[in-house]
A and B are shown apart, each in its own frame.
Chain A
Amino acid sequence: MLANYGHKDASGDFFITIDTDKCDSCGDCVTACPADVFEVVDEDPNDPMRDEPVAMVAADKKKKLKYECGFCKPPSDMPPLPCVEACKAGAISHSW
């Protein structure tokens, strides 16, 4: 499942997509993110019949990703994103 967490308003689209089929719930993204955007939960709330842990964007972060992710996204010379780098399964992508 492609889970798009984030928001869209007049200033743009700010979504982090987690491919839950690729995610192996290792938790590397949780430690890699300096803003504590990610968390690993025991059960995917959007897929209640699948009883496996999965990474997701924390509920209190998903409405302010534009700001939470701001430190990793300078206007020029953007380095590779820590979360995308850390995820060996390649499950994380950003829309902006």
Chain B
Amino acid sequence: MAEEKKQEFWRWTESNWKNPDIDWKDARFITVGIDVGSVSSQSCIMADGNIFAYANMRTGSDSPNSARNALNYALEATDMPEDRMDYCIGTGYGRVNVPFADRSITEIACHARGANFIYGPEVRTVLDVGGQDIKAIQCDEKGKVTNFLMNDKCAAGTGRGMEVFSDLLGVPINDVGERSFQVKEEPNAVSSTCVVYAKSEATGLLRKGWTTEEVLAAYCRAMAERIFSLVGRVGVTPEFAVTGGMAKNRGVMDRLMPMIKLERMKTEWDTQIAGAAGATLFGYALCQKGKGRKR
């Protein structure tokens, strides 16, 4: 039998984290947010509105399982028993499939609230480039949505498309951004934003003698243009922040920002947890209002 050799270039690193400065025993309310996306799942645990622990994992084919795994992974980092949690909110594409959630809230509301938390109250425009959709959201200083648009019909210009390209070109997903700038001259964008068309166009360009880096650059530019056209419909007002996995990809972001003509805000937090953090904050607000779980 021939040995199967397979490298998954698209695979990004899963992680969990615990805030060493917070002791859950001192907290009045422990709230949990679970964001089950189409590609990644996050869980966020907050103690009185401060992030205590979080986890970021890949979504499997089974949403309830993915939600459970994400929560367990975050709990693993802590010594907190699961039944200590006061309220749990599910969000994201698979939000109705979180069996242990007390309620669900759409990812639009959660991302605005989460971006308000991780980037600060100055955020007015939130761009979330997720695994399978793009959300452009305008919000006020409290993180309340004032205008939003979500394109979830077509996955062009989303994280999944980038994974397909990293696999096609054999470039690990974390290196895509850097590699896409190693070109002598910036190539034109691939003409189609559709992942399937773009992939066949890229294959053609490789046959023509383009380097891997040039093809990456052409695709990153196409994604940036696609994202820009969607953001334009909602409008951009400063401050501008990006959430979701694509915020970690320099190749797309550094091409997008000159089009928008703004600087994007910076954060120490993992940009992928914005949705889960927002859900957690809604849970905290509900608990504070006395609308939490009846015990």
Distance of A3 Cα from B148 Cα, bound (Å):
6
A70: B residues at CB distance < 8 A: none
Question: Could you tell me if B285 and A4 are in contact, using CB atoms closer than 8 angstroms?
Answer: no
B108: A residues at CB distance < 8 A: 46
Question: Could you tell me if B145 and A47 are in contact, using CB atoms closer than 8 angstroms?
Answer: yes
Question: Could you tell me if B152 and A63 are in contact, using CB atoms closer than 8 angstroms?
Answer: yes
State the majority secondary structure of interface residues on B.
mixed
A77 interface residue per 8 A CB criterion? no
Contact with B along A1-22 (1 / 0, CB 8 A): 1111001111001010000000
Which residues of chain A from 37 to 81 have a CB within 8 Å of any chain B CB?
45-49, 63
Closest B residue by C-beta to A63: B153
Among B167-175, B227-235, B254-262, the one that faces the other chain is B227-235
Closest A residue by C-beta to B106: A45
A13: contacting residue among B105, B144, B233, CB under 8 A: B233
* Chain B residue total in the interface (Cβ 8 A): 25
B148: contacting residue among A4, A7, A8, A48, CB under 8 A: A4
Question: Could you tell me if A46 and B148 are in contact, using CB atoms closer than 8 angstroms?
Answer: yes
B285: A residues at CB distance < 8 A: 49
A49: B residues at CB distance < 8 A: 144, 282, 285
B32 interface residue per 8 A CB criterion? no
Please classify how large the interface on chain A is, using the bins under 10, 10 to 19, 20 to 34, 35 or more.
Answer: 10 to 19
A46: B residues at CB distance < 8 A: 106, 108-109, 145, 148
A47: B residues at CB distance < 8 A: 109, 144-145
A45: B residues at CB distance < 8 A: 105-106, 109
Distance of A39 Cα from B192 Cα, bound (Å):
35
A4: contacting residue among B147, B153, B193, B229, CB under 8 A: B147
B194 interface residue per 8 A CB criterion? yes
A48: B residues at CB distance < 8 A: 105-106, 109, 282
Question: Could you tell me if A9 and B148 are in contact, using CB atoms closer than 8 angstroms?
Answer: no
A10: B residues at CB distance < 8 A: 156, 192-194
Distance of A9 Cα from B156 Cα, bound (Å):
8
* Min CB–CB distance B231 → chain A (angstroms): 11
A1: contacting residue among B145, B150, B233, B282, CB under 8 A: B145
Question: Could you tell me if B147 and A2 are in contact, using CB atoms closer than 8 angstroms?
Answer: yes
CB-CB under 8 A for A8 and B230, given A3-B148, A45-B105, A63-B152: yes
B156: A residues at CB distance < 8 A: 9-10
Distance of A4 Cα from B233 Cα, bound (Å):
9
B146 interface residue per 8 A CB criterion? yes
B109: A residues at CB distance < 8 A: 45-48
B151: contacting residue among A1, A2, A3, A7, CB under 8 A: A7
B153: contacting residue among A1, A2, A7, CB under 8 A: A7
Which residues of chain B from 178 to 199 have a CB within 8 Å of any chain A CB?
192-194
Contact with A along B128-170 (1 / 0, CB 8 A): 0000000000000000111111111110100000000000000
B147: A residues at CB distance < 8 A: 1-2, 4
Closest B residue by C-beta to A8: B151
* Min CB–CB distance A49 → chain B (angstroms): 7
4 closest residue pairs by CB, A with B: A7-B153, A4-B149, A2-B147, A63-B153
